[in-house]
Amino acid sequence: MSNGQRVIKGRCMKLKGKIWKFGDNINTDEIIPARYLNTSDPAELAKHCMEDADPTFPQKVQNGDIIVAGSNFGCGSSREHAPIALKAAGIACVVAGSFARIFFRNAFNMGLPILECPEIGAHVAEGDVVSISLEDGTITVAKDNTVLQAQPVPDFMQALLQDGGLMHYVKKKANL
């Protein structure tokens, strides 16, 4: 499986990617600064994703990369722009110790996979590669084959992710 490849088989999604590591309390202003909220264009938002946390991030991030963070990721303002920017920048998944509740909901609504795994920060460094199964919540660290257990994504949330988010899911269910 190559970097960032998504394998959809039934309801199972598997991801593999390089890690970008951030700390605790990464807020939505760091994910996408408010000065860029005059657009909802995903490509434009991607150009500024995480730049207040790491100014080099938008130039270095690659499709399929994975963010690992500490607790309370996505705290601050309630804005759908944050998961849109991450997804548009190519982030395949965010794994954090915990998420702000509104970001948690917005991420699934926008089709961005996220997992809660409080111990991941102690097992990985920036640049490491991990494989993730969204179905069972396992995270395998490539450098030493450590397997961590995150909270598995419920079936309904997996369906949201497979369909690309809540709006696409609803349109599919309504045959629109």
- The whole-angstrom separation of Cα 7 and Cα 40 is 28
Where does residue 106 rank: exposed (0-12), middle (13-18), buried (19+ CB within 10 A)? buried
- The whole-angstrom separation of Cα 127 and Cα 23 is 15
pLDDT at res. 162: 86
What's the pTM value of the predicted model, to 2 decimals?
0.90
pLDDT at res. 175: 81
pLDDT by residue for the chain (176 residues), tens only, comes to: 444 544 443 444 899 999 999 999 999 999 999 999 999 899 999 999 999 999 999 999 999 999 999 999 999 988 899 999 999 999 999 999 999 999 999 999 999 999 999 999 999 999 999 999 998 999 999 999 999 999 988 888 888 888 888 888 888 888 87
